[in-house]
Structure 1
Amino acid sequence: MEWRKCTLTNQWYLVGAKDIEMNNVKFDNCPFCPGGEYSNAYKIDEINNGNDHVVCIPNPQKSLIVEEKIKRVGIGFFDMMNNIGADEIIMETQHEHKPFSQFSEEHLALVFKMFARRIDDLKNDDRFRHVIAYRNQSEYTGSPFQHPFSRIMAFPMVPKIIDNELFEARKHFVRKDRCLFCDIIAEEIRTRVRIVVENKEFVAFCPYASRFPYEVWVAPVHHSSSFEKDMQGNILSKLAEIMSMLLPKVEKVASSYFLALHTSPNEKSAAFKNHQWETLQDDYHWHIEITPKYLFADYIERRSGYIANSVLPEKAAEEMRS
Structure 2
Amino acid sequence: MPSSIRTNIVSGDRVILAPERARRPRDHKLVSPAAAQTAGSCPFCPSEPSRIPEPIRTRRSASYPNHEHAITVVPNLYPALTPDGDDLAMPHGPYDAFGGVGAHEVVIEAPEHIEHWTELDAAHIANIFETWQERVSDLRNDQRVKDIIPFKNVGPRSGATLAHAHSQIIALPQVSPRQLQLLERGQRYFELHHRCPLCDALHHERLSGERLILDDEHTVAWTPFASRAPFEVWIAPKTHGADFTRASRDQIQALAEHTLRILELWELAIGRVDHNLVLHSAPFAFADKAYYHWHLEMLPRLSTHGGFEWGSGAYINATASEVAARHLRELNS
TM-score normalised according to structure 1 size: 0.89
Deviation of the 1:306 alpha carbon: 2.5
Q: What secondary structure sits across from 1:282 in the alignment?
A: coil
Q: CA RMSD in A?
A: 2.3
CA contact (8 A) 1:54 1:111 kept: yes
Counterpart amino acid of residue 34 in structure 1 = P
Q: What secondary structure sits across from 2:221 in the alignment?
A: strand
For residues 246 and 295 of structure 1, the distance between their equivalents in structure 2, rounded to whole angstroms, comes to 19
Q: What secondary structure sits across from 2:5 in the alignment?
A: strand
Aligned residues: 311
Matched, 1:167 2:184: yes
1:300–1:11 Cα change, 3 Å: closer
Give the equivalent residue in structure 1 for 2:124: 107
TM-score normalised according to structure 2 size: 0.86
1:141–1:190 Cα change, 3 Å: closer
Deviation of the 1:207 alpha carbon: 0.5
Q: Aligned match of 1:259 in 277, 298, 301?
A: 277
Matched, 1:245 2:261: yes
Identity over aligned pairs, percent: 25
Deviation of the 1:66 alpha carbon: 0.7
For residues 117 and 127 of structure 1, the distance between their equivalents in structure 2, rounded to whole angstroms, comes to 18
Q: Which structure carries more relative contact order (alpha carbon 8 Å, separation 6+)?
A: 1
For residues 253 and 329 of structure 2, the distance between their equivalents in structure 1, rounded to whole angstroms, comes to 22
* CA offset digits 1:170-220 (Å, max 9, x no partner): 111122221111011111111111011121111110001111111110011
Of 213-222 and 245-254, deviating more is 245-254
Give the equivalent residue in structure 2 for 1:320: 328
CA contact (8 A) 2:199 2:240 kept: yes
Matched, 1:310 2:318: yes
Deviation of the 1:101 alpha carbon: 1.9
Instruction: List runs of 5+ in structure 2 lacking aligned partners.
Output: 31-38, 65-69
* CA offset digits 1:51-91 (Å, max 9, x no partner): 33111000111131112332112222111111111100000
Q: What secondary structure sits across from 1:75 in the alignment?
A: coil
Give the equivalent residue in structure 1 for 2:195: 178
After TM superposition, what 4+ stretches of structure 1 lie above 6 angstroms from structure 2? 25-28
Deviation of the 1:131 alpha carbon: 0.2
1:301–1:256 Cα change, 3 Å: same
* CA offset digits 1:293-314 (Å, max 9, x no partner): 1335555412443311100000
Deviation of the 1:98 alpha carbon: 3.1
1:83–1:264 Cα change, 3 Å: same
CA contact (8 A) 1:22 1:143 kept: no
Matched, 1:68 2:85: yes
Paired residues for 1:5-44 under 5 Å:
5-23=7-25, 29-38=41-50, 41-44=53-56
CA contact (8 A) 1:227 1:286 kept: yes
* CA offset digits 1:19-49 (Å, max 9, x no partner): 2442468997433222433477510011102
Q: Aligned match of 2:209 in 170, 173, 192?
A: 192
Of 20-29 and 97-106, deviating more is 20-29
Of 76-85 and 94-103, deviating more is 94-103
Counterpart amino acid of residue 11 in structure 1 = D
Deviation of the 1:144 alpha carbon: 5.1
Instruction: List runs of 5+ in structure 1 lacking aligned partners.
Output: 268-276
CA contact (8 A) 1:3 1:15 kept: yes
Give the equivalent residue in structure 2 for 1:281: 289
1:197–1:50 Cα change, 3 Å: closer
Q: Aligned match of 1:215 in 219, 229, 232?
A: 232
Counterpart amino acid of residue 5 in structure 1 = T
For residues 242 and 86 of structure 1, the distance between their equivalents in structure 2, rounded to whole angstroms, comes to 29
For residues 98 and 15 of structure 1, the distance between their equivalents in structure 2, rounded to whole angstroms, comes to 29
1:126–1:80 Cα change, 3 Å: same
For residues 208 and 142 of structure 1, the distance between their equivalents in structure 2, rounded to whole angstroms, comes to 26
Give the equivalent residue in structure 2 for 1:270: none
Give the equivalent residue in structure 2 for 1:292: 300
Q: What secondary structure sits across from 2:90 in the alignment?
A: strand
